[in-house]
Chains A and B, each alone.
Chain A
Amino acid sequence: DTGVSQNPRHKITKRGQNVTFRCDPISEHNRLYWYRQTLGQGPEFLTYFQNEAQLEKSRLLSDRFSAERPKGSFSTLEIQRTEQGDSAMYLCASSPGTAVWRDFGSGTQLSVL
């Protein structure tokens, strides 16, 4: 197992376009988390799944953001009508349900021009 995989690593888009990121968690990890991180700040929680169920969403996750985890495996995070303020690193993490740690991916760096 190579850890949590995120694709793409970098994404440049124009304001108003839609973007989608993918996260492949460590197999057998039933929990999957999405975070957003801007320069100089710690990661901010966006949402998390237990298997295919989305259990919590942050208020940061506006209507333009949607996350899915079909079949409880990989997850996608879509941002519609991107804005310059959406520019950030989007991090995915996974863990077994009872684990004390989270395994993070290397993130997708989004730049909205």
Chain B
Amino acid sequence: LAKTTQPISMDSYEGQEVNITCSHNNIATNDYITWYQQFPSQGPRFIIQGYKTKVTNEVASLFIPADRKSSTLSLPRVSLSDTAVYYCLVGPNTDKLIFGTGTRLQVFP
């Protein structure tokens, strides 16, 4: 399974756009890129998944360059409730999920 590298923490203010980048240099052909969000004392929650180019849903956008060696999760106009840990995962859909340490996003008023 491909190893991922993402910033340990990020700070932002309410209303700003937040971009969290994840590096996955050893991504395999059948690997997907998936992002989860986790609040304290709760299980992770699926945000978005993509394979290449751009994916958008009601929560976030995921940008994946052609070489797929990195990806960027974009959260538009964050609010205080977006304060959480965000995990980037890379692997086949049918396989177990392997989490790293994630990025702790702190949103300030």
Contact = CB atoms under 8 A, between A and B. Distances in A.
Chain A interface: which size bin? 20 to 34
A45 B98 contact: yes
Nearest to B102: A42
Given A42-B87, A98-B93, A104 B45 contact: yes
Interface stretch (B23-31, B36-44, B76-84): B36-44
Nearest to B32: A100
Main secondary structure of the interface of B (DSSP, over half): loop
Contacts of B96: 33, 45, 48, 56
A106 B46 contact: no
Interface in B1-44: 32, 34, 41-44
Contacts of B97: 33, 35, 43, 45, 93, 102
Interface residues of B, number: 20
Interface of B: 32, 34, 41-46, 49, 85, 87, 93-94, 96-102
Given A97-B94, A103-B46, 11 more contacts: A40-B101, A42-B85, A43-B97, A45-B97, A45-B98, A93-B97, A98-B94, A99-B93, A101-B49, A102-B97, A107-B41
